Structure 1
Amino acid sequence: MKRIGVLTSGGDAPGMNPAIRAVVRKAIYHGLEVYGIYQGYQGLISGNIEKLELGSVGDIIHRGGTKLYSARCEEFKTLEGQKKGIEQLKKFGIEGLVVIGGDGSYMGAKALTEHGYPCVGVPGTIDNDIPGTDFTIGFDTALNTVIDAIDKIRDTATSHERTFVIEVMGRNAGDIALWSGLSGGAESILIPEDPYNLEKVVDKIKKGHARGKKHSIIIVAEGVMSGGEFAALMKEKTGVDTRVSVLGHMQRGGSPTASDRVLASRLGARAVELLMENKGGRAVGIQRNELVDYDIIETLKMEHKADVDLYRLSQELSI
């Protein structure tokens, strides 16, 4: 394999740029040409593709977002759209493709794989919801962004003796809520993987007030319900003055942490190695700090699960 492509797709995540840099420089180091595909699968269909050199990825390792931009593409979900993408890959002589993104991006890579086109998936999503890997690129940075916000909100909650509901990202996975809630000392954490019990949350707030506790932090993953909806339920049940903070897209931005930069560099480089070995249809990941790769089609059949032990620990420590 002498010429490969790289694209980012779906929601952006801090660390995508270090991953792109690793793919480009690892490939060039081994004598391969690299082509960047802009705007994800939409750019693949339209042929928004250019050759990348060493300088093309200079000064991006510390930047959030993605140099290659990202876009949703409904057309690529169709057979006709996939065929258009493959024609563009053939036009540019691209023999293998590195796809950096989440589960939706993996679906596109899976489709290309099933058409006989070698792809390697690199997990880039703040939700940390890709099966087969302990951590995804962007999760650590997003987590630290949320923790910083919790610390600041707690100062205000303490000063005004209020309960704050903080809504974080996570439609189907509660990792951001769980990890930030535990590390931020939240009194209650609501995640999509576990049915919440409003009475238990209320009871914990009341017990806290009874022993003199005048403020509380409740973390709600967006997949459970909106922060506003939950705050309204709390107000109705307790009469406690409740405020809501929705962190929204600020969780996606920011300079990637050292952990995310290292993870992205390792995974991006490993993806290139797999293509050099003519191994397509794979996804890379990290388990117990060791790099792994697995069948991308089988990966999409697996289900991401929340860390039950971590969730139990958070409940025990927030009494």
Structure 2
Amino acid sequence: MTKIKNIGVLTSGGDSPGMNAAIRAVVRASLYYNIKVTGITRGYEGLIQADFTPMDGKSVGNIIQRGGTILKTARCDAFRTKEGRALAHKNLVESDIDALVVIGGDGTFTGADIFCKEYDFPIIGLPGTIDNDLVGTDFTIGYDTAINTVVHAVDKIRDTAESHDRLFIVEVMGRDSGLIALRSGIGVGAEAILIPEAQVGSEELVHRLETGRKDKASKIIIVAEGDEAGGAYVVGETLKEKFPNADIRISVLGHIQRGGKPSCMDRVLASRLGVAAVEALIAGKTDVMAGQVNKEIVFTPFSQTIKHIDAHDITPTWLKLVEILSM
């Protein structure tokens, strides 16, 4: 086993609350084990541009509570090419960086998996995405904060909805996964939740609203942006045709869900996984994501984590719960 002497850390893809806590944990764990650590700015783009900065304990001071990522993040088409990855590898070797911790989602891990296999380069991934759509961890870094952001926002919307007897259609993030919509929808007491994994068509939605309690002062419908119904505006147009006298409003929460201070749960999860990633590299692990399942640290091959699963926590039990509580 080759001794790890310098670990590079980067964040890639969409930012998520808790990424800074993960960076902090990787840096401090590396220093604890007398390993140098190098920050890589703007993800894989930084690898190709050799945008490297040595980090120490002071580099990550006072960041655990900050949203976003101090290392920045960017999409990188060049890393999808063999030429781009070859340049990235050359830069790593010339800078004496002999292992990586990459923090991101499925796109990040797809690139890491290819790079590992091409160059036999040690890489551990940390699940940093608000969507919670990776196999190998109960929760991803940023998911808890994101759903609480939705809950806080919709609670405020509910106040206005009740004051004016309105029906609000709230669109949340989740292009490929409805987990944000599902949990936040239950948390805010939504009358209906539309997600990609469960086909709730316009007819069924209209039926629920027609057969629901007529004396409700407000109604909230949560729509995942990737739902096949077409998003909040399409759903809104359908409902306006069916209920022309209803006061229907639409609110798209958008990128507000990605920002903000991470919750305690996300800070602790990121910290624990960051340390686990460094210890895994020391132990010779590579080409895997560190996750937490049933409160235990587990390692899952990148090739398995990046396969979206249709029913990750989307079970008939959850959907029945939504139906029962919407009465």
- The answer to whether TM tops 0.5 is yes
- Could you say which residue in structure 2 is the equivalent of 1:215? 218
For structure 2, the 5+ residue unaligned runs are: none
1:310 Cα offset (Å): 1.9
Deviation at 1:301, TM superposition (A): 4.1
Give 1:82 deviation, angstroms: 0.9
Q: Secondary structure in 2 aligned to 1:135?
A: coil
The alignment status of 1:109 with 2:112, answered yes or no, reads yes
Superposition deviation, residue 214 in structure 1 = 3.3
Q: CA deviation at 1:112?
A: 1.3
- Find out whether 1:187 has 2:191 as its counterpart: yes
Letter of the 2:142 counterpart = G
- Aligned Cα RMSD in Å? 1.1
Q: Does 1:231 align with 2:236?
A: yes
Match of 2:268 among 254, 259, 262: 262
Q: Which amino acid aligns with 2:127?
A: P
Contact 1:112 1:118 in 2 (8 A): no
1:133 pairs, out of 133, 137, 144, with 137
Q: Report how far residue 66 of structure 1 moved.
A: 0.2
Distance 2:320 2:270 in 1: 30
- In the alignment, which residue of structure 1 is the partner of 2:13? 10
C-alpha separation in 2, matches of 1:241 and 1:255:
34
> For the Cα contact (< 8 Å) 1:134–1:286, is it kept in 2?
yes
Match of 1:275 among 281, 289, 292: 281
Residue matched to 2:253: 247
Structure 1, residues 178-201: CA drift from partner, whole Å, max 9, x if none?
A: 000001100000001111221221
Match of 1:315 in 2: 323
Q: Deviations over 1:240-277 (max 9, x none)?
A: 22100000000000000000000000111101011111
SS of equivalent to 1:253: coil
1:124 matched residue in structure 2: 128
* Contact 2:135–2:304 under 8 Å retained in 1: no
My pick for the range that moved more, 199-208 or 121-130, is 199-208
Q: Mean Cα displacement is larger for which, 237-246 or 200-209?
A: 200-209
Q: Percent identity?
A: 51
Distance (whole Å) between structure 2 residues aligned to residue 156 and residue 150 of structure 1:
10
Contact 1:129 1:304 in 2 (8 A): no
Which residue in 1 is equivalent to 2:301? 295
TM-score by length of 2: 0.95
TM-score, length-normalised on structure 1? 0.97
1:111 Cα shift?
A: 1.3
Aligned to 2:79: 76
String of CA shifts for 1:11-66, please: whole Å, max 9, x gaps: 00000000000000001001000000000000110000111011000000000000
Q: Distance in 2 between matches of 1:86 and 1:195?
A: 44
**SS at 1:82 equivalent:** helix
| Alpha-carbon shift at residue 228 of structure 1 (Å) | 1.1
Farther-moved stretch of structure 1 (35-44 vs 296-305): 296-305
| One-letter amino acid of the structure 2 residue matched with residue 299 of structure 1 | T
Kindly indicate whether the alpha-carbon contact (under 8 Å) linking 2:197 and 2:310 is maintained by their aligned counterparts in 1: no
Alignment check: 8 A CA contact 1:158 1:214 kept: yes
> Any stretches of 5+ residues in structure 1 without a counterpart?
none
Indicate whether 1:172 and 2:176 are aligned.
Answer: yes
Give yes or no for contact 2:291–2:298 (8 Å, CA) kept in 1.
Answer: yes
